[in-house]
Amino acid sequence: MIPESFINELLNRVDVVDIIDKRVPLKKAGANFVACCPFHQEKTPSFSVSPSKQFYHCFGCGAHGSAIGFLIDHDGLNFIDAVHELAKVAGLTVPNQIDEKPEKKKENLVLEDALILAKKYYQTKLKGSPLAIKYLKSRGLTGEIAKEFSIGFAPEGWNNLNEVFKDYDNDALIKSGLIVKNDKGKRYDRFRNRIMFPIYNAKGQLVGFGGRVIDENDTPKYYNSPETALFQKSYELYGLLAARKAIREKGYVLVVEGYMDVVSLAQHNIRNVVATLGTATTNFHIKKLMRYTPEIIFCFDGDNAGKSAAWRAMNNSLTSVTDEVQLKFLFLSDQHDPDSYVRENSKEQFEGLAKNATPLTEYVIQYLTQNNDLTSQEARVKFLNEVEPIMDEMASSKLAFLFKKRISVLLDLTLNEIDNLIKVKNKKTLKAPMQQLKRQTTSVVKRFVILLILNPKLIEKSDKDISWGESLDEQLAQACILKILVDENHNTASIFHYLSNRFDNDFIDEIKSQVLNFDEEISPINEFIGLREKIKQSKLQASNKSKLDAIKHKSFDTLTPEEKKFLKEFTKR
């Protein structure tokens, strides 16, 4: 790992404006620089680069990041190469691996390092397991593909990871999801006798594992790392990092059911493929994919599980699908999954199926009419009832209109009649206030963090002594405060880099987009001080409440002097 202090120095040394200007010529506009966005098609510039924040941000497609992020997304470099490239520009030498202080090492072990060490271990074990190799071969996978996806093997046995981690009791191992502690406090390896698939996020950070059984009697068949600070299933997509280039080249992405599908399609050189990780497709997934392509094709197995996964994916996508995006559905026949289909037919035939996949609205109609012939009035009412919430959710106004039209033809009704029957609200007037409402409900703590990142000078030493809790927002607040207090050289980009090593990327992205969209005309000082006061107050109330709860059940005589004093002061107010 490249030491974080170096990344920090790098982000303070290079100028994101220079870096981007060499690739995308920028024009000065007020305090910032602008250009037409290199990440989406546009005629008027909505791509903005801030020299003070050392960040770029596109108001059109939402692309954003630091100088490192730009080299990754624009030049297609991986993280390490991007750092080397920037170091060259800045005249710095990238220091060699792990030379950090021991206490820092321990903290870092909490996150990625533990996973990286485990990954290496699993890979070694795969080489030594004829059984696991045989299984992968039976699925048609070659050694090259196994290596490319860093596939490994977790052997049988309860404490194998002890070989890698001498300190098996380290809580980091539990926090990273590698080790489980049972009710009696006994610790054991989470993954046993499974093929291991490392899961990377889109930035190339190892965030977790998926494990598939090789003994078909074991359950569950697929088993993933639990949610951790780094890994949140509703955000991550397996294979996205490796698939990005192919997605851009092909112009569409295939979303399949599992990591085995991704790997076996890669084996047939179909590489624009990602998978969800044991959850339904969420609107976060859709939004993430929309950054890379306007065409998303779901390819699920033809069995019942596949069908209901597709229906859920459709429902979860509706609010994210804009007029610029096409969602399609591809169903293979009952006996096939993507892998078996390609093996029996060909890559070309599979891609042909993808090209002819069913568009979203057509899929909805097919699904709802498979057991409904629409011949009776009752059947038509049932259909309208089912279709109404779907139309209601559709974020794309054009699509919603065309969908309605299609339904009116299907039911032999005029558009007016449909409108009267289902009273679809006008999306445009409905969406705006809802978004505003959402902004207002940003938690107090989150808002505190956002203002702090924008104005690190407002920090006070005592901010770290607030009794921060365990919620994600409060962990974020603590991390920000520590970073700013410990390190005098910081800018927005280096603060975010620090945070992205400690938290889920999409969580941080959400904070980033609020920081980048912040109206710079507003002076935040009073608001910030107010928020700090509010947080302290609510902490005090919570602490009083728990003290009071503890006292409530005791008789007055048994109270300690402190408790009596507390009670007296509390009742005085």
Nearer Cβ to Zn ion (261/509): 509
Minimum CB–partner distance for residue 76 and Zn ion (Å): 17
Nearer Cβ to Zn ion (73/113): 73
Q: Is 219 exposed, middle or buried (0-12, 13-18, 19+ CB in 10 A)?
A: exposed
Minimum CB–partner distance for residue 119 and Zn ion (Å): 34
Nearer Cβ to Zn ion (60/204): 60
Which range binds Zn ion by CB under 5 A, 52-60, 220-228, 483-491, 504-512? 52-60
The DSSP code for 238 is B
Nearer Cβ to Zn ion (41/349): 41
Q: Rounded to the nearest 5 degrees, what angle is found at the Cα of 488, between the Cα atoms of 499 and 93? A: 75
Nearer Cβ to Zn ion (35/511): 35
Number of residues engaging Zn ion in binding (CB under 5 A): 7
Nearer Cβ to Zn ion (63/453): 63
Strands (E), 277-435: 295-300, 326-331, 358-359
Which range binds Zn ion by CB under 5 A, 3-11, 56-64, 152-160, 526-534? 56-64
Nearer Cβ to Zn ion (39/498): 39
- Residue linked to tokens 């098609």: 41
Q: Rounded to the nearest 5 degrees, what angle is found at the Cα of 76, between the Cα atoms of 74 and 80? A: 115
Interface pick for Zn ion out of 45, 51, 60, 294 (rule CB under 5 A): 60
Nearer Cβ to Zn ion (63/499): 63
Contacts of 321 (CB under 8 A, 6+ apart): 286, 327, 360, 394, 395, 396, 399
CA distance 152 to 129: 10
Residues 457-476 that bind Zn ion (CB under 5 A): none
CA distance 392 to 351: 33
Minimum CB–partner distance for residue 63 and Zn ion (Å): 5
Interface pick for Zn ion out of 17, 24, 58, 87 (rule CB under 5 A): 58
Minimum CB–partner distance for residue 428 and Zn ion (Å): 22
Minimum CB–partner distance for residue 59 and Zn ion (Å): 8
Which range binds Zn ion by CB under 5 A, 39-47, 140-148, 179-187, 197-205? 39-47
SS3 content of the chain, % helix, strand, coil (to 5): 55, 10, 35
Nearer Cβ to Zn ion (58/511): 58
Minimum CB–partner distance for residue 25 and Zn ion (Å): 16
Minimum CB–partner distance for residue 47 and Zn ion (Å): 6
Q: Is 395 exposed, middle or buried (0-12, 13-18, 19+ CB in 10 A)?
A: middle
CA distance 519 to 72: 28
Nearer Cβ to Zn ion (40/464): 40
CA distance 7 to 26: 25
CA distance 228 to 178: 11
Nearer Cβ to Zn ion (56/284): 56
Nearer Cβ to Zn ion (61/116): 61
> Which of these, 24, 510, 26, 17, lies nearest to 283 by C-alpha position?
510
| Residue 61 is a binding residue for Zn ion (CB under 5 A) | yes
| Residue 284 is a binding residue for Zn ion (CB under 5 A) | no
Nearer Cβ to Zn ion (61/92): 61
Minimum CB–partner distance for residue 360 and Zn ion (Å): 24
Interface pick for Zn ion out of 39, 121, 238, 496 (rule CB under 5 A): 39
> Which of these, 446, 456, 541, lies nearest to 503 by C-alpha position?
446
* 180 φ, ψ (degrees, to nearest 5): -110, 145
Which range binds Zn ion by CB under 5 A, 51-59, 129-137, 154-162, 359-367? 51-59
Minimum CB–partner distance for residue 201 and Zn ion (Å): 21
Interface pick for Zn ion out of 40, 343, 536, 547 (rule CB under 5 A): 40
Minimum CB–partner distance for residue 420 and Zn ion (Å): 40
The DSSP code for 267 is H
Minimum CB–partner distance for residue 293 and Zn ion (Å): 14
| Residue 70 is a binding residue for Zn ion (CB under 5 A) | no
CA distance 458 to 373: 66
Nearer Cβ to Zn ion (44/219): 44
Minimum CB–partner distance for residue 202 and Zn ion (Å): 16
Order of strands across the sheet with 273-275? 273-275, 253-256, 295-300, 326-331, 358-359
* 15 φ, ψ (degrees, to nearest 5): -115, 120
Which range binds Zn ion by CB under 5 A, 55-63, 114-122, 384-392, 565-573? 55-63
Which range binds Zn ion by CB under 5 A, 40-48, 133-141, 257-265, 544-552? 40-48
**C-beta of residue 514 within 8 angstroms of C-beta of residue 442:** yes
Which range binds Zn ion by CB under 5 A, 63-71, 189-197, 397-405, 511-519? 63-71
Minimum CB–partner distance for residue 43 and Zn ion (Å): 12
CA distance 550 to 546: 6
Minimum CB–partner distance for residue 111 and Zn ion (Å): 30
Residues 19-38 that bind Zn ion (CB under 5 A): 37
**C-beta of residue 224 within 8 angstroms of C-beta of residue 210:** yes
**C-beta of residue 118 within 8 angstroms of C-beta of residue 161:** yes
CA distance 256 to 265: 10
For the record, the structure tokens of 247 come out as 């997605």
CA distance 263 to 534: 50
Minimum CB–partner distance for residue 34 and Zn ion (Å): 11
> Which of these, 189, 280, 175, lies nearest to 229 by C-alpha position?
175
Nearer Cβ to Zn ion (69/524): 69
Which range binds Zn ion by CB under 5 A, 60-68, 411-419, 439-447, 520-528? 60-68
Binding site for Zn ion (CB under 5 A): 37, 39-40, 58, 60-61, 63
